[in-house]
Structure 1
């Protein structure tokens, strides 16, 4: 109670602080199109749903070849809490996996998992067809295609409003640039962690795209193609997921006991940290002014990637006085990492 009381007197001046990293809702809920409600079609859809879940939670296409999944594929219903048909078109089988059973079984199969707290992505998506070029805006019909693909791949995706000013800046030259300087002023209002630019083009009845992704100081890029806009959107976002996931998962045995000291906290930042550190069995040990001290179990690399989502920088934080009355026994000789806003 004393810790909570101390937090309540931390500065409330930034209650409107925009949060970027998001907890993905519906991560264990998968929709698969089906041609009928026949048992064979249903069973095939349940297996496809399991594959979709594995890709969402690992971001690793090689994980699908893991022999430890054989027993789960033989009976995926052991991981499923419920399934139901949704009226189409297309007709869809909605599959809800039990998070606890699914995570436990996939870890037992030797897979490393990506948690539900993921970087928020702002997508500047330009479609170029015979009808001309169009920036996909948040309220446009084409946005539904991108949201559906993002949901399928477990990514928190947002789109710009695509007002006149944004259409003037989202031109092919800026989307294809090696650095996103031209897009950054327009992107700042959305408070995303990652910036995705996509130039999609229709040619000979096929869609293809060049994409670039910036997260912090790193850039990824690639190409994708699909028979239609839905297939293309899925191909792009699947590739993005596969590039992002390795930054946020730790290999077996890589986790260790760490003490994390965070300087510059206030009440909204405390709430943000609670979400970011949740996958690491975090325990708040001490509050001293604007300093929060946690014990966690994680690899340093995974922890750094996770905290970067909140704009935290690693390095010596300004010294803060520690109230002896709040001190609690720490983990014996843990490695100490310091971060600050």
Structure 2
């Protein structure tokens, strides 16, 4: 069965995913030549940036274990080089990913997986004379601050390019007024997982986050998130709040080694694409160490999942997949095996019954076979991947088809 799935994989493509893979372990810090040891200070700052980005926690650097590790930051650096940012010299650093992950585990800090939601940003800035949308290449101070802070936190942002389709597809009044349906329609051309509408006036920001795919904005009743920030660092505060929101959704505290494994069953897998998308998504979860396929039967598959976190944390991560819906697992009732009844009395010489001192075993005892009950998985989910549809097979000309049947063995 596995071989059939592997063969099918080579004949079809995967659906496009909007999630963005963030480079968690690189950092570039401007060297402060006024300090006594600028390189040493830059290494500490660079490692702090990586810790915050990988954990999704702003105050992770205050952890006592992290504070000790920062003093020996050199052992966590994999590559080191100098760069230039304008007229300023920078120190480029790439940290060892497995070592950083192990450090977070030792510190009992969460890890925010590298695959993160891609957010489309509509920024409308108001001046005394007009309101204008900040496009990708706009010379906007607020947009620059948002990009810089989003890079620090590892929050993927997409800015509209401002071409003809953008200019004609959205009205500034719709963005400023918070009309959801036009925002969703204008955003559908971009591969985004969420849409952020920001209204900026001086140092005041009002924002609305639609944490859903653009095509559902204004169609479903899902309520958006909203907030406001003031001051010269208003953009930083906003990005931090949104980063904290997504990190809280996806982060888990990972144990240092796999200490538990559970059986998990998924139903309603209609085709090979569903299977491989599910398997890939499970392997990408930060709470999963590895997967073993125990059974494939019809449209169901049962995994043995080796965990790096608790089963509850794993279950929460699976439920965050849009395609997974929990199914209640019915408890298995114990099977009682009836025992044969035996006479426990004998007849004495006077013909009266009296209790037997010792009961001999009967010559033949009918054996009752216990009912074999297949163990139930700890968790069950229904896979709702209806939009993962395999493409129709391509027609092959008769001249290219051999009359003889060729049998090929494919190793799983």
TM bracket (short chain): 0.7 to 0.9
Distance of aligned partners of 1:331 and 1:96 in 2 relative to their CA distance in 1, 3 Å threshold: farther
> 1:281 is matched with which residue?
289
> 1:60 is matched with which residue?
57
Return the match for 1:210 from 190, 206, 210: 206
Shift in Å at residue 154 of structure 1?
A: 1.0
TM-score with structure 1 setting the length = 0.76
Return the match for 1:87 from 84, 88, 91: 84
Partner Cα distance (2:159, 2:67) in 1: 38
Partner Cα distance (1:148, 1:221) in 2: 21
Whether 1:20 aligns to 2:18 is: yes
> 1:3 is matched with which residue?
2
Return the match for 1:117 from 98, 110, 115: 115
> 1:340 is matched with which residue?
384
Secondary structure at the counterpart of residue 110 of structure 2: coil
Secondary structure at the counterpart of residue 244 of structure 1: helix
Task: Check conservation: 2:197, 2:207, Cα contact below 8 A.
Answer: yes
Partner Cα distance (2:65, 2:186) in 1: 46
Per-residue CA distance 1:183-214 (angstroms, 9 max, x = gap):
11122222321221222233xxxx44222222
Task: Check conservation: 1:12, 1:266, Cα contact below 8 A.
Answer: no
Moved more, 137-146 or 94-103: 137-146
Moved more, 168-177 or 61-70: 168-177
> 1:102 is matched with which residue?
100
Distance of aligned partners of 1:10 and 1:86 in 2 relative to their CA distance in 1, 3 Å threshold: closer
> 2:361 is matched with which residue?
none
Task: Check conservation: 1:117, 1:275, Cα contact below 8 A.
Answer: no
Whether 1:126 aligns to 2:124 is: yes
Shift in Å at residue 182 of structure 1?
A: 2.4
Partner Cα distance (2:244, 2:151) in 1: 15
Shift in Å at residue 91 of structure 1?
A: 2.6
Distance of aligned partners of 1:11 and 1:340 in 2 relative to their CA distance in 1, 3 Å threshold: farther
More helix per residue: 1 or 2? Answer: 1
Distance of aligned partners of 1:39 and 1:100 in 2 relative to their CA distance in 1, 3 Å threshold: farther
Shift in Å at residue 62 of structure 1?
A: 3.1
Q: What is the correspondence of 1:1-341 to structure 2 with a 5 Å cutoff? A: 3-9=2-8, 15=13, 17-24=15-22, 26-36=23-33, 40-89=37-86, 90-129=88-127, 132-140=130-138, 146-164=146-164, 166-167=166-167, 169=170, 171=172, 173-175=174-176, 177=178, 180-202=180-202, 207-216=203-212, 217=222, 219-225=224-230, 227=232, 233-251=235-253, 257-261=262-266, 263-267=269-273, 270-271=276-277, 273-275=279-281, 277-278=283-284, 279=286, 280-283=288-291, 285=293, 293-296=302-305, 297=307, 299-300=311-312, 303-305=315-317, 308=320, 311-315=322-326, 333-341=377-385
Considering Cα pairs closer than 8 Å and 6+ residues apart, tell me whether 1 or 2 has the greater RCO. Answer: 1
Distance of aligned partners of 1:147 and 1:332 in 2 relative to their CA distance in 1, 3 Å threshold: same
Distance of aligned partners of 1:340 and 1:148 in 2 relative to their CA distance in 1, 3 Å threshold: same
TM-score with structure 2 setting the length = 0.65
Per-residue CA distance 1:24-77 (angstroms, 9 max, x = gap):
2x2100122223396622222222222211221222223222111121121222
Gaps of 5+ in 2: 213-221, 328-373, 386-412
Task: Check conservation: 2:18, 2:193, Cα contact below 8 A.
Answer: yes
> 2:332 is matched with which residue?
none
Shift in Å at residue 257 of structure 1?
A: 2.7
Gaps of 5+ in 1: 317-329
